[in-house]
A = this chain, B = another copy of it.
Amino acid sequence: MDAAEFRKRGKEMVDYIADYLEKIDKRQVFPDVEPGYLRPLIPDCAPQDPESFEDVFKDIEKIIMPGVTHWHSPYFFAYFPAASSFPALLADMLCGGIGCVGFSWAASPACTELETVVLDWLGKMINLPEEFLAGKDGRGGGVIQGSASEATLMSLLAARTKTIRRVQSEKPELTEAEVLGRLVAYASDQAHSSVERAALIGGVKIKNVSSDEEFTVCGSALKKVLEEDKAAGLIPFFFCATLGTTPCCSFDRLLELGPICNKENVWMHIDAAYAGSAFICPEFRHLLNGVEFADSFNFNPHKWLLVNFDCSAMWVKKRSDLTGAFKLDPLYLQHHHQESGLVTDYRHWQIPLGRRFRSLKLWFVLRMYGVTGLQEHIRKHIRLSHQFEHLVLQDERFEICAEVILGLVCFRLKGSNELNKALLKSINEAKKIHLVPCHLREKFVLRFAICSRTVESTHVKFAWQHISQLATDLLKTWEQNQQQQ
């Protein structure tokens, strides 16, 4: 394919994508296919000779679309939102066209510098303390990671190296392996599985800190486990606080936890993967109070800020903590400017070496929506979650299981877990809407997350009427079964 054909096909693809997104509500949100559906539909091997674009293009509807879960359907209420917007799509096209691999400043200066500056923009939008910003000569700064998992892992690794150095300087008789064997990381029992994973990768112990009846970790809970572990000869080194937990969007108490971490030389990382976007609205910024005690902070514009995946924004107070975790500089990656102190080589801030020009997406979205446009988006989602909450509360067969703070509603039928599992099954088998569950303590709970950019009040109302009807049908048979038993 040459440039002339790309002009033609690219425009057809633009129209296909616009059609797809404009009419996505007409598609069934969750596919009908069974595992293994795709293999029989395509050949066993790549073709020897080139196929035409038409051949490939017609297979999109024939082979791909029947197996797609439509994350941008207004009937998709599962997981958390995956962001998507037209400005982000345009920027990602440009990112592909430029096609640079920006692992160092020299590998494409614009790729590095736009990222640093736009993360300062974003940091200011959520009123992050100055220490987290790069500015012209700051010690902190931001970076775009691929996912919150990577941000958590990078912060844990930075904390690990820092702590090993500190402990070895105090107790030179300890080997690195001995220190490593005593390190303990902590997170809420409500924290995302990626925190446990980061600890497994880093070869350190991790312990749950018990959350309270509101599913949040308070200072006393952390203090208790730190005291116990220190008494047992262990070395607490890392605490991951969560703002907006995945099960129910609860918030750990930063203002209590931060001072404890600072006093105990424990690195505090804040994972606000979903909730972070809401902090651009002044009325939700209080949820971030206490960030001033943190060493690192992360949230995902690719969840809720209309920037397509992947764009996970992370800030640190001391960039040298990240780069010091494992700075390696082979000659083929060195360049003239790198020791000038003026440049950032983002390869030292992340797990992979290569990186796409992802800041373009963020830049396009921040400019073409403006702060006010993004605030409107967040506020609409939160308004809709409260709408759903009110509908649930009006039906006394149901209960709300956690305070609705942002765009997630945790709810269930009053009754057994089996009953609620059956309700979820009937919802997802009907495939008119799509939800996923969670456990809150011993309870099986349904999560209703406002997801799509285009979801409106009518979709939420429809979803509730549908759920309510399925519940009625279910309860009828359920009661019959109970009587028969």
CA distance A140 to B12 in the complex (A): 38
Cβ of A282 < 8 Å from any Cβ of B? no
In the complex, the answer to whether A99 meets B22 with C-beta atoms within 8 Å is no
Of the residues B7, B36, B332, B370, contact of A18 by C-beta under 8 Å: B7
- A209 at interface (Cβ–Cβ under 8 A)? no
Q: Nearest Cβ distance between residue A401 and chain B, in whole angstroms?
A: 14
Q: Does A167 contact B (CB under 8 A)?
A: no
In the complex, what's the smallest C-beta–C-beta distance from A104 to chain B, in angstroms? 10
Q: Known A68-B110, A86-B2; judge A343-B35 contact (CB<8 A).
A: yes
Would you call B125 and A46 a contact (CB within 8 A)? Answer: yes
Does A100 lie within 8 Å of B87, measured CB to CB?
A: no
Binary per-residue interface labels of chain A (69-86) against chain B in the complex, 1 for a CB within 8 Å, 0 otherwise: 111100000010010111
Closest Cβ of chain B to A91, distance in Å, is: 9
Q: Determine how many copies of this chain the complex contains.
A: 2
Residues in B with CB closer than 8 Å to A56 are: 87, 363-364, 367-368
Flag whether A66 is at the interface (Cβ < 8 A).
yes
Residue of B nearest to A12 (CB): B90
The answer on a CB contact under 8 Å between B354 and A47 is no
Q: Report the minimal beta-carbon distance from A274 to chain B, rounded to whole angstroms.
A: 12
State whether B39 touches A89 (Cβ < 8 A).
no
Which residues of B lie under 8 Å from residue A343 when comparing CB positions?
35
Interface centre among A10, A121, A125 (most CB of B within 10 A): A10
Could you mark each residue 1-30 of chain A with 1 if its beta carbon is under 8 Å from any beta carbon of chain B, else 0? 111111101110111111011100000000
Judged by a CB distance under 8 angstroms, whether A105 is at the interface is yes
Residues of B near A113 (CB, < 8 A) are 35-39, 67
**Would you list which residues of chain A between 336 and 368 have a CB under 8 Å from chain B?**
337, 340, 342-343, 351-354, 356, 360, 363-364, 366-368
Distance in angstroms from A334 CB to nearest chain B CB is 8
CB distance from A47 to the nearest CB of B (A): 5
- Bound state CA distance, A89 and B14, in angstroms? 12
Q: Which of B20, B97, B147, B366 meets A352, CB within 8 Å?
A: B147
10 contacts between A and B (CB under 8 A): A3-B18, A3-B86, A10-B14, A10-B18, A10-B89, A45-B125, A197-B326, A201-B351, A310-B356, A330-B438
